[in-house]
Amino acid sequence: MSKREIKKAVLAYSGGLDTSIILKWLQDEYGCEVVTFTADLGQGEEVEPAREKAIALGIKPENIFILDLQEEFVKDFVFPMFRANAIYEGEYLLGTSIARPLIAKKQIEIAHQTGADAVAHGATGKGNDQVRFELGYLSLDADIAVIAPWREWDLNSREKLLAYAKEHGIAIDTKGKKSPYSMDANLLHISYEGQILEDPNAEPEEDMWLWTNSPQEAPDHPEYITIEYKKGDPVAINGEKMSPATILRTLNEYGNKHGIGRIDIVENRYVGMKARGCYETPGGTIMLKAHRAIESICLDREEAHLKDELMPRYASLIYNGYWWSPEREMLQAAIDKTQEFVEGEVRLKLYKGNVIVVGRNSPVSLYSPEHSTFEEDEVYNQKDAEGFIRLNALRFIIEGKQQPDRHSKVVVPTQEEQESEPKESESEEDGVVSLFKKIFS
């Protein structure tokens, strides 16, 4: 298939080996002008060196975009996701997934600003990120061309990449020890995949974890913190008001100190295979626990239960790359409606990998001590419960009278029937099987 003619492409560019090779490859294979976009999402690495590397590869200074997106990332993407208490497959807090729609959005904005007719990414053809990026691109600009080099070139090994870099004079950073893992980091989490982790039965080495203390090495004394919420979002820690990114950064520090937020999972990728990954999400783990605690006293029962039913679908939409879909926006509107009166403070105890809720209070709490007390009260008539129970049982009562055989009754063989059976020697287990066959035949 012939390549579409491309005049200018916006590349999601980290400055690392892979994206530097992609930059040069785009110039050679497509003969197009390249615009680089580097996002600072709080990954903990300097992003400015990407500017020098891009210039060294012939990129014009006006075509180099390095943007600090930390506040926007947390305020407009992480916080809305945490209002939903989103977890994929029971454990994954979606740290990589939630960053992709923001990167896609900025790439499209830069494409429109610079007159580019294409966008490019460095995701492989085996992973979820290609789906997340490209669903985002096409949701925001249906006419944009998408270039995914890993699905086109034959540079499918590290040796081939290094050879290409050497042939084209692309600088390779050999300083320090190179992590053997494929990693992604932002202000919400850091992930590890590949190498020994491809054996789901192999325990990762302790020095793989870059952020958190081992729970064994965490402080021997617990630490208490309070998180204040307003409309479902955290707004202060220990009474100090903070910006969204500062809140998450501060909670990361607490989590790292106390060994909080490590998980080791095998997840089902959208593209079909299972993948094993390890994640550190220290601040997010604390936020999730605190948010559910404040919701427990602020949300109506049926509102809370319906929200929990919707959450797995919402989480899957984010994991699979459907942030910009109408169904995610519809669910978000419903979720945000539930958060209008989610406010107050949660007190937490952090200790050796654990986040323990020890208190919660709210000016709009639905928790009524007068109704809940085990002591004498003047607001609840316990006799009312009888009518409540009988009304809820009414359909069972009617069924029992009109359809008496509706529920199968267990029929135990009589003594006479048992004695008439052949006296074959059988084990206790065989006897149980035989009895069940009689009962359910």
Residues forming the active site: 18, 100, 129, 182
81: tokens are 């996701």
How far lies 239's CA from each of 234, 249, 440, in Å? Answer: 11, 16, 64
Q: How many residues make up the chain in this entry?
A: 441
CA distance 18 to 70: 24
* Sign of the CA dihedral with 18 first, then 23, 28, and 29 last: positive
Of 270, 236, 258, the C-alpha closest to 125 is 270
Ramachandran class of 90: left when φ > 0, alpha when ψ lies in -120 to 50, beta otherwise: left
CA distance 250 to 294: 19
> Are 324 and 140 in contact, with CB atoms under 8 Å apart?
yes
How far lies 32's CA from each of 12, 104, 122, in Å? Answer: 15, 20, 17
CA distance 19 to 149: 10
Buried b (16+ CB within 10 A) or exposed e, 78-96: bbbbbbbbbbbeeebbbbb
CA distance 221 to 17: 43
A 10 A CB-CB count for 215 gives 14
CA distance 249 to 262: 17
User: Could you give the strand order of the β-sheet that contains 182-185, starting from the edge strand earlier in sequence?
Assistant: 182-185, 190-193, 274-280, 262-268
3-class secondary structure, 267: strand
Ramachandran class of 282: left when φ > 0, alpha when ψ lies in -120 to 50, beta otherwise: alpha
How far lies 409's CA from each of 24, 396, 404, 435, in Å? Answer: 76, 16, 10, 15
